[in-house]
Structure 1
Amino acid sequence: MEQRSGNNLQESQKWLQHLSKGNQGSELVTSTLQGLKVVASHEGYFRCHFLVPSSLLDQHGNWHVGAIATLIDSVGNATAYSMSGPLKGSVDFTVSYFSTAKFQVIILSS
């Protein structure tokens, strides 16, 4: 994994790793982030690899929008923390869904 150092950055990376392995966080978040891998990071930036599992599909076989929002919020929180330290929470969170992702689709976000 490519990374530039910083204490907040390292804490953010560990937090996402613990969530993705189910070692920390609520069942909803850990089941949603299961298998998430950080492939590159630096202060204010995370690039992740994620394979959409069947457990996160809606009734039409698409990646459930709630699971998408949970992943975005979690990686966004880790990214913000890497720059500024502890945060209280999201003040406003809006997501526009332009397309869907199906089962076993690889998601690479930055």
Structure 2
Amino acid sequence: MGPSWCWDFAEPSAMPPPPTEPSATPPHSSLACATCAERCDAAAARAIRVAAAQFARHVRPAQSVATPSPAEPSATPPHSSPEWATRRGARRLAAIARKWLEDPASGTPAISTLPPASEELSSMVMAGARVSLAERGRVVCSLRVRAALTDAQGRWHAGAIAAAVDNMCSAVAFTVEGAPTATVQYSLSFFSPAHPDEEVEMEGRVVSRKGKLTSAAVEVRKKESGELVAIGRQWITRLAPAWPAKSNKSSKL
């Protein structure tokens, strides 16, 4: 008998499987494949988010640098503005007051109308004076009491104190007025004596201005202890400039 007789009596498990019919649905479009693709996409998205979070913790994001806008050209140059001119004028007046207090005989007609030869008293009472601060409306000056300027009891002479305070009032008023001044009213109060070789500090301030009058006050203290020696107060008025005006050739006088 032929080989077909063996197949007829063979066990069902030994028989070869029947050929499968081709599926009408492609293998990659089946429901299982779609579910697997969704899971893969979700896992990939989670991995991307985790990596981005780790990167953000270890890497500082770059900060945006704002580009400065170009400055607009100023219509007024900085050194020709009114404020700058005012500050420059105030510094110039303070420098003149400083120079005059430290050396009254230097010839500063802007403060004193007296000629340099007539400043002997101011030079005597202000000898050795040093100005530590000079600004608009305030002047601080220190000096050491000289033995030649003491009275019979060996104390700083009241007249020397009055002259020194008068000089301080003229100097501090000049920082505001910018012209020579004359004293209209003067009061001086004494509190404690100062002795030779003691260093005193005088601080002058412009207190107020009323019309053509300027009020100035000066405190005199012992520099080491701060003890008050005297307080002077003055009302001052502005005078015409010390330098002569231009002559009028057409005048008949």
Q: TM-score range by the shorter chain?
A: 0.7 to 0.9
Code of the residue aligned with 2:188 in structure 1: it is V
Within the candidate set 44, 63, 72, 2:165 is matched to 72
Code of the residue aligned with 1:18 in structure 2: it is D
Q: 1:6-55: CA deviations, max 9, x gaps?
A: 22112111211222xx4445211211110111011211111111100101
Confirm whether residue 28 of structure 1 aligns to residue 121 of structure 2: yes
CA distance in 1, matches of 2:133, 2:181: 25
State the structure with more CA Rg.
Answer: 2
Alignment partner of 2:180: what SS? coil
Confirm whether residue 57 of structure 1 aligns to residue 114 of structure 2: no
Q: 1:56-97: CA deviations, max 9, x gaps?
A: 100100000000010001011100101111133110111011
Match of 1:88 in 2: 181
CA distance in 1, matches of 2:96, 2:122: 18
CA distance in 2, matches of 1:45, 1:10: 12
Within the candidate set 184, 189, 198, 1:105 is matched to 198
Confirm whether residue 11 of structure 1 aligns to residue 96 of structure 2: yes
Q: Which moved more, 1:82-91 or 1:45-54?
A: 82-91
Q: Is the 8 A contact 2:155 2:193 kept in 1?
A: yes
Q: Is the 8 A contact 2:95 2:134 kept in 1?
A: no
Match of 1:38 in 2: 131
CA distance in 1, matches of 2:163, 2:151: 15
Question: Which protein is richer in strand relative to its size?
Answer: 2
Quote the RMSD (CA, aligned, Å). Answer: 1.7
Q: Normalization by structure 1: what TM-score?
A: 0.86
CA distance in 2, matches of 1:40, 1:12: 10
Code of the residue aligned with 2:137 in structure 1: it is G
Q: Is the 8 A contact 1:8 1:84 kept in 2?
A: no
CA distance in 2, matches of 1:27, 1:109: 20
Q: Is the 8 A contact 1:43 1:82 kept in 2?
A: yes
Q: Normalization by structure 2: what TM-score?
A: 0.39
Unaligned runs of 5+ in 2: 1-87, 107-115, 204-253
Q: Which moved more, 1:25-34 or 1:77-86?
A: 25-34
- Higher-RCO chain (CA-CA 8 Å, sequence separation at least 6): 1
CA distance in 1, matches of 2:121, 2:167: 12
Alignment partner of 2:192: what SS? coil
Runs of at least 4 residues off by over 3 Å: 22-25
Taking only the aligned residue pairs, the percentage that are identical comes to 28
Code of the residue aligned with 1:16 in structure 2: it is L
Code of the residue aligned with 2:164 in structure 1: it is L
Alignment partner of 2:186: what SS? coil
- Aligned residues between the structures: 105
CA distance in 2, matches of 1:74, 1:92: 14
Alignment partner of 1:91: what SS? strand
Unaligned runs of 5+ in 1: none
